[in-house]
Every structure is written in C-alpha cells, then in structure tokens.
Structure 1
Amino acid sequence: MMTSFFDQFMSPTYLGIPLMGLAFVLPWLLFPSPAPRWINNRFLTLQGWFINRFTSQLLSPMNVGGHNWALILASLMTFLLSLNMLGLLPYTFTPTTQLSLNMGLAVPLWLATVIIGLRNQPTAALGHLLPEGTPVPLIPVLIIIETISLFIRPLALGVRLTANLTAGHLLMQLIATAAFVLMPMMPTVALLTSIVLLLLTILEVAVAMIQAYVFVLLLSLYLQENV
C-alpha cells in the first residue's frame, strides 16, 4: 500500500534492477520505422508533418549556424513529449518527474550553447554580461547579476519541467483519492469530484505537451543568443 503521495515518483526497480532505462527505451519503440512503401500511412504522415512544422517554427528566427541543431532539438522534443504523455497512463512511471534526469538533459545542452558562443563569437557572448550604456559605478554589480542569471538557466530548465509535472500528478492523485473516499458516503460529491478529475486529466495532457515544447523552446532561445 502506498504510504506517501510522493512514492509514485520513486524510481521503480525489479529484483533490484532499476527500470529507468526501460522507461527511456519504451517511447522510441512506439514510433514506427520508415517503410519502403512509396506512400506512408496516416500515422507516419502526421508524424512527419508535426516534426517538420515544429522544426521550421523553432529554427526560423535563428541564424544558419543554429540550423545544425535541428535534429537534436526535434529528437529532444519527441523524447520529452513521449515520456510526459506515457507517464499519464495507469501503472506507469514518469522519468521527467526526476530532477536528476531533467538536470542531466538541461546542463550539457545549455553548456554546449555557451561553449558555441564563446568559440564562434567570444566578444558578443561576453558582451551579454554587460548591457550597452551601463554607468560605470553599476558595471561590477551588473556583471555579477548577469553571470548569476546565466548560470541559473539550466536550473530553471530542469526545475520548471520537474515542478510542473510533479504538481500535476500530485493534484490528480489527491482528487482521485478524495473521489474514492467520498464514493460510499456522498455519491453526488464523488461524482462531481470525478468530473473535476477528468477535466484535470485533460489539462495535465496539455501541460505534458506544453512543458516539453517550453523546454526545447527555451533551449533554442539560449542557442539563438550564441550563434
């Protein structure tokens, strides 16, 4: 029996073997491989249209140098979207509720954008730490503030994704528990609670999609500043 609402966010194990790796592999198995047919089916066509639209919208404001990241960003969006959506199914585990996983994705990709900026345009990259026209007495303070804001970006990426998904899952479990407890005592209130739970589930599906998009969008904005 579950002793705490936070037990659902513990990494599952089977015979002492962590199943986190299985959760990573499962989303990719759901996507079909390219077929030798001339005409694809509806699912492949819809998938290709979605990836093309997402990639073109994401890379349109970037310079040509940022277009090399198209495959990485599209794959990351597909990966996060699959994990977030699969975590809403019963008896499943959402790996993106783990801060360690989200930080493991956010820190290397953010660091890659910073290194690209320092390699390709070091003057412009360092110029972001000091806005133009700053009064001389404020220069040290602004450099410290901008440096802190630069290093806090990966933390904001990881914590945003973790907090939104964790809060949604906790709220769904609280309302579901309340509906289950109220069913024998107050069926009418339990029915209204179940309707609220259904609406919250639809909202959580939207949150799962939006948070995956926001993660990749913010990463593309960081990349746009450095290419």
Structure 2
Amino acid sequence: MTMNLFDQFSTPCIFAIPLSTLATLLPTLLLTPSNRLITNRYVALQLWALTKFTKHLLSPLTQSGRTWAALLLTVMFFLTLTNLLGLLPYTFTPTTQLSLNMSLAVPLWLATVLIGLRCQTTTSLAHMLPTGTPTLLVPALIIIETISLMIRPLALGVRLTANLTAGHLLMSLISMATISLSHSLPTISSLTLVLLLLLTALEIAVAMIQAYVFVLLLSLYLQENT
C-alpha cells in the first residue's frame, strides 16, 4: 500500500472530532501573561522579543498606523508558534491549510485598503496611476495596478502555505529515505539523517521567517495607506 505524502496535511480527527481548532488555539496558551510580581525567564524573553519586534516593525509607520501594534504582534506570535508547533512529531500544522492563511490575509489586507480610502482617498487612488504616464497607457496601467492590488492577499496566503508545505514534504521524503536505508545501507542512512537534522534547523528558521514576512508585508500595505 502506497502512503500518500499529502495525508499529513489533512486535519486529524479523534472520535470524528477535527483537531484543527485545538491546534489553532494551542499557541494562545503559550502566551498567557504571568500575574506574579517577579516574572520568570520565559515571560522576560517574551517581553524582550515583543519590544524588539515592535520597534523594528512600527518605526516607519505613522502615528495612526501604530495603533495596529497589538494586532500585528498577535498575528506574528500566533503564526510563529503555530509554525513551530507543527514541526513536532505527531502534530498538525494549521498554517499549511490555505483556508486558514487566506482567512487571515484577506480581512487584514482589506482593512488596510479601506483605511486608505477613508483617510486619504486621493493618495490611495493615485497609486493606481503613476505620474507622467502617457495617455495611451492609462487604461492598461489602471487594470494592471488593480490586479496587483487584488492579488496581494492571495500572495500572502499562498506564500505561507507553499513554503511550509514544501518544507514538510521534503522532511517526510528524507525521513522515509533514512528509515528505508537504515538496514541495507547504514552509512548512507546516517548521512541522510544528518541532512534531515540540518533541514529541521532550516525549517525552524523558515517557520519564524515566514511569520515575520507575513506581518512585515501587512505593515508595508498599512504604511501605503496611512
């Protein structure tokens, strides 16, 4: 019987109950603030990461754009922890599902567009047509800019899904090769095991980078409209 590699991306169920909701809510349990007067190292590390990320992400934004700080930080930590938890054995990664990523990308992108149309209508519409465009190219450029604007949420969701899916598939293929070669060719199997460990380290970096890129692009869209 041939195993389908894409079965790992289907939502697991226990007693016919899908576990995708539990996997989505689990990262919020890891961000529970401490009510003690003296914080522990884990909470101190969270506060340090929050401060560094806030300064780096919100420095180019205007005062009105900085009101999005709490929302962007929440999305950043949710995606980071969800991606990292999905690398553990016998777990499920909700961010490999395009539906979840699009449900995050579309409302956030649409909010930035609506804020731009409400606060600075002329400037937002001026992005559709660069200055000094020849008259003959005006209709074509407006269509192209409109398509590029509408494709932004799709690019956000597909980028996150494709990168995580490709990494998980590659890790599955290499782990299957390591197990199948362990009896016949132990030397080659040990080399593939080293490759698997290096790939796991790379996937940990990819999990954090993709969450950062997702939020960074949202902040750039927000910067254009505030």
Structure 1 length-normalised TM:
0.97
Q: How many residues align?
A: 226
Alpha-carbon deviations, 1:40-70, whole Å to 9, x = none? 1111111001011101110100111101100
Q: Which residue of 1 aligns with 2:70?
A: 71
- Match runs of 1:82-161 below 5 Å: 82-161=81-160
Q: Which residue of 1 aligns with 2:225?
A: 226
Do residues 197 (structure 1) and 192 (structure 2) align? no
Q: CA deviation at 1:35?
A: 1.8
- Quote the Cα distance in structure 2 between the aligned partners of 1:2 and 1:85: 28
- Quote the Cα distance in structure 2 between the aligned partners of 1:222 and 1:30: 29
Q: CA deviation at 1:2?
A: 7.5
Paired letter, 1:3: M
Secondary structure of 1:185's partner? coil
Q: Which residue of 1 aligns with 2:170?
A: 171
- Quote the Cα distance in structure 2 between the aligned partners of 1:178 and 1:76: 36
Q: Which residue of 1 aligns with 2:34?
A: 34
Identity %: 64
* Runs of 4+ with >4 A deviation: none
- Quote the Cα distance in structure 2 between the aligned partners of 1:160 and 1:132: 31
Q: Which residue of 2 aligns with 1:6?
A: 6
Secondary structure of 1:225's partner? helix
Alpha-carbon deviations, 1:148-181, whole Å to 9, x = none? 0000000000000000000000000000000100
Paired letter, 1:47: Q
Consecutive unaligned residues of structure 1, counting only runs of 5 or more, are none
- Quote the Cα distance in structure 1 between the aligned partners of 2:68 and 2:33: 22
Secondary structure of 2:88's partner? coil
Consecutive unaligned residues of structure 2, counting only runs of 5 or more, are none
Q: Please say which of residues 9-18 and 166-175 is displaced more in the overlay.
A: 9-18
Paired letter, 2:13: T
Secondary structure of 1:33's partner? coil
Q: Please say which of residues 130-139 and 27-36 is displaced more in the overlay.
A: 27-36
Secondary structure of 2:137's partner? helix
- Match runs of 1:45-64 below 5 Å: 45-64=44-63
Structure 2 length-normalised TM:
0.98
Paired letter, 1:211: Q
CA RMSD of aligned residues (A): 1.1
- Quote the Cα distance in structure 1 between the aligned partners of 2:96 and 2:176: 20
